[in-house]
Amino acid sequence: MKVPPSLNEATFIVAEYKAQILRVPELPLPFSTVKVLEQRMWVEALLLVLLFLLLKKVWSKPDGLPPGRWGLPYIGSIPFFSKLTLYEHLKDLQKKHGDIYTWRMGTEVIVFIHDYKLTKEILNRPEVSDRPDWIFFTLGDKPPLGIGSTNGELWHNNRRFSLRQLRDLGMGKSKLVAAVHNQATILVEELKKQSGQPAPVPHAVNVAVINIIWQMVASIQFEVTDPKMIEFQDLMTNFNKVTDRAYFHDLFSWLPQILPSALSDRLFKLDHVRNLLSMLSVYFKKVIDEHRATLDMDNPRDLIDNYLIDLEGDEKLPVEMQNEKNLVWIILDLFFAGSQTTADTLRFTFYYLANNPRVQSKLHAELDEVLGGALATLEDKARLPYTDGVINEALRMSSLTPIGIHHLVRTDIQLAGYTIPKGTVINNVTQSIHTDTRYWKDPHQFLPERWLDDKGCFSTKKEGFLPFSVGKRQCVGEGLARMELMIFLAAVMANFTITPPPGKTIDSSPDPVSPTFHITRVQDIVFTMRK
């Protein structure tokens, strides 16, 4: 049906009327509204600029710091997909930036130093004598106690007490020699059991070293097969393994805050750390309780007795030291710093000698001439220059703490023209210093002769050598370690020749399993009794 024209016109009129009603008139905005919009635009622009500057500040390395790797906030610079070890990364950074540079690892800003003189300068400054508040040091125990993890007055008093006790109890003196001789004799007998047979260096080496510390701490000596000794050695071995994982917790301390606690504990093995710390504490507390029950205030036997006398007697100890838990931590620190390190130094020395028959022959000749089969004493040290050279060369080559031990800068300082801000961590790269061609010719060669002068006398080479660190945090047990190394090494080498297994070689490079400490690889070696 055709629509009449009149109807089409009506429809058009209605549609036009609706359009007029719905059309919004384009009126000019009031002046005040325009002003508000302009102000808002300027505020937004200013906020964008401030955000950019803030991001630039967060992302950029602060002015004054040494050059180096900076990376992203909270993550730092992580060299993904690289097969290099941590030390090789550090050497690569040294080639690029020089002897001092920055590497932000996670949230921690760390300045690494490869120069011996800069290391001596910085580690002797009181502003750098603190330790970071890391689980790597405190094991999550608060407040920090003992020697290794404390700062300020408590650290100073604990260190002074421990050093005085070690000296009084025979460190570096003939007073302790009888105990070391006893352990050296036991070690030789244990090595005779595997004479001529390829086998790993026996755990008797660890027992010998641990027993010396026990002698000074608690007047205790364990048999090699004593279940208590085996239990304690296992605790210490596992303890050393899990602390490395805690190191990564400290670098990425924000991760545990966003991860479920069970996952965080598993990832960083914090539950293992807590369990081992608890077990060691119980172990030490039992020994302390036994000492308290038999304590003679007038005749102290060892370090524990002296601490208890000062604790329960006339209150000679400073207030912050007046608790038994602090004593537990002092004992733990002495074992942690002095047992595995000395045992591994001996193992490294055995490996170096097995690979260097020329050095071994000269060492045998000196020991035969001077000692004639007897055990060494402190008085023999001056007559054993080559033996001393072997020990120092082993300390240099092994560099047990290859990247040093972390120091915290507690206030802004100047170093080598750079500004090192408060809160920065300082690490001296010991392995690099010990192989620095400015101080060492053929640094990768095991050459005990470098420690002898033209007359064949031992000459302590101080430049470029710091196996026990330097400054206020220098190892308190250096004298004890050197005494043990000399007597144990002389006893073993007077009785044995060391060789690789037939058709094999000895790998004297450190086991890469640990990023922060050099430990020996477990491998077969042959001790053959000398005729």
The pair of three-digit structure tokens given for residue 266, joined into one six-digit string: 């598993």
Q: Annotation-wise, does 457 bind a ligand? A: no
Identify the burial level of 173 via C-beta atoms within 10 angstroms of its C-beta, where 0-12 means exposed, 13-18 middle and 19 or more buried.
middle
Say how far apart CA 415 and CA 8 lie, in whole Å: 94
Long-range CB pairs of 188-192, under 8 A, 24+ apart, other chains included: 188/491, 188/492, 188/495, 190/224, 191/492, 191/495, 191/496, 191/527, 192/495, 192/529
Identify the burial level of 255 via C-beta atoms within 10 angstroms of its C-beta, where 0-12 means exposed, 13-18 middle and 19 or more buried.
middle
Any residues with CB less than 8 A from the CB of 472 and at least 6 apart, and which?
123, 124, 126, 129
Cis amide linkage into residue 143, ω under 30° from 0: yes
Say how far apart CA 340 and CA 213 lie, in whole Å: 11
**Residue 525 in 3-state DSSP?**
strand
Any residues with CB less than 8 A from the CB of 154 and at least 6 apart, and which?
144, 145, 318, 320, 321, 326
In eight-state DSSP terms, residue 522 is P
Say how far apart CA 229 and CA 215 lie, in whole Å: 13
Contact present, 416 and 100 (Cβ < 8 Å): yes
In eight-state DSSP terms, residue 212 is H
Which residue spans within 286-404 are E strands per DSSP? none
- Binding-site positions read 475
- Binding-site positions for heme read 475
